[in-house]
Amino acid sequence: MNQSSALDECFILVKAQPHRSSAYFETVCCAGIGRDGKWRRQYPVPFRILNDIQKFRRWDWIEYLYTTSPNDKRWESQKVIPDSLVVGKQVKKSERAPFLNPLVRESFEDAERRGESLVMLRPSKLEITWVEKSEREIANERAKHADLANQMSFLDKTATPLEPCPMQFSARWKGNDGKYHRHECDDWETSTAFNRFEREYGSQKALEFIRAKYEDEYFKAGLALVFSTHSRRNVTHGTKNQWLLVGLIRLDVDPQADLLLDLVQ
């Protein structure tokens, strides 16, 4: 065991889309909440070459060893030791609001005053938009993922290229400051949901599903947008924070609705 490592646990709230890393091949930035109700950021996680029993989902508790990175001074960040990851039970729906509601902030400025680099905000209005990627953009992404899969095969013979999402999704939303904001969506769940529904029902139906899920179902029940600062463009590097949209989470406004749902399941 690395003497500088420590043991921790949290439940996963965010899995951003996989990105290329020169040092770690393909990695996923994840984030969750610890037993103490505080944020944890796990990076870099080589998610697609983890053992199947280690591949966690949103709301799963995970236990792991981690070290700190000299290149990432954000206090929430942890450098996970992949072999140590153990997946536990899921957080019950009735337990989610008590954990998460205290972390909902009024604005980015509110989070920054608290020294936070991860934040949840509740939009007062939401519109999901998208831009269809060009054939050239998709071809370039496929080539990069194929190259990554070839590198990953040294660690996992079952590694396959990740199929890029043909749409770039964005969220246009209104905050408590009364202003509209627009952020590209880096939430992995959104792109995988679109790809799955597109294969089954076609592009138009898949887009309708995405809009209905977030703008109707989630927004009416309670929706939180999760943002993380950019790994290099943040105050610890002496620059203004660049906030990235990494998760769209159903967080019911009425926790009793979650409790009743737990009782009938």
- Domains of the chain are 6-91 (2.40.50.730), 121-264 (no CATH)
Q: What confidence category does residue 24 fall into, taking pLDDT thresholds of 50, 70 and 90?
A: low
245 and 230 in contact (C-beta within 8 Å)?
Answer: no
Q: Which amino acid is at 18?
A: P
The predicted model gives 57-64 an average pLDDT of: 97
pLDDT in tens, 139-184: 888 887 777 666 655 555 556 767 889 999 999 999 988 999 999 9
The torsion region of residue 115 among left (phi > 0), alpha (psi -120 to 50) and beta comes to: left
3 and 67 in contact (C-beta within 8 Å)?
Answer: no
Q: What percent of the chain has pLDDT over 90?
A: 70
SS3 content of the chain, % helix, strand, coil (to 5): 35, 35, 30
Is the whole-model pTM more than 0.85? Answer: yes
96 and 67 in contact (C-beta within 8 Å)?
Answer: no
Bridge partners (DSSP) listed for residue 35: none
Closest CA relative to residue 126, chosen from 217, 32, 258: 217
Strand residue runs (E) in 117-217: 118-121, 125-132, 167-174, 180-184
**238/62 Cα distance (integer angstroms):** 33
pLDDT value at 22 more than 60: no
Q: Report helix angle 188-201 to 203-211, nearest 10.
A: 140
